[in-house]
Structure 1
Amino acid sequence: MKSALQRILNVKYVIVIRSAPANLDLHLFFADTLDALLASDQEIAALFFTDAAASCLSKNHQANTVQSKILQRYLQFAQSGIPLLCCGQAFRAQGLKADSLISEAKLSGNLELTQFFSCCAMLEF
């Protein structure tokens, strides 16, 4: 049972991921950091993929590539109930169409991100 102080200090996080899906070690570090947050009873409200990271959520990655391994790691968070949000503008800027977004993710934008600003702490990778 958490004390009153622990409940007050418990912060929800929105994780903003910007890094391109070219570096497996970097994205695995991000995922390990998220695991550590969850293990310390912190709540992650959503993962928001923008800029070059938006392409992480494409279903067009070839099997056994760096990109597919990164996607599989982030899908573990979706399976545990953490929403995967993808900036629609960034996704389209990568030359991707909405129908190539994985089914576990949702196209999103500034409205959702602004709503998170009011209630959550942001971590950017």
Structure 2
Amino acid sequence: MLTIMVLCASVLAKAQQVKLNINITKIEAGKGTVVLNIYDKKEDFLKTVFLSKTLKADQSDLTFVVDLPKKGSYAVTVFQDLDNNKKLKQDWFGIPQEPVGYGNNFKPSAKPKFKECAVNVDSDNTTQTIKLY
């Protein structure tokens, strides 16, 4: 009986998951890695990452496939870590010194906000394309 309950709970949890496909373009192939960060809460944006994935920058276009627990808005940031130090290199003013991209291809003139970079995941399989600049 316990096994059946655990199995049912597992199936229900899996049924609620949604998939987010993020295509990254304009990558400098052969240089470092590409880091994807996803934020699920406005108050955590650019502070506490909800989910992070890294891929080797071996092509000019890459696709991240992310399983999320539920539909909703998720802010997305991406950067190419050219020096492989696992941090976005910035100048004194906080301006990125490595290729970056944001959800909805938002290009900030100041520090970006959650809603500007948020992708609305409203189906079981959502795709977003982000160009690094």
TM class by shorter chain equals under 0.3
TM-score by length of 2: 0.23
Structure with the higher helix share, 1 or 2: 1
TM-score by length of 1: 0.24
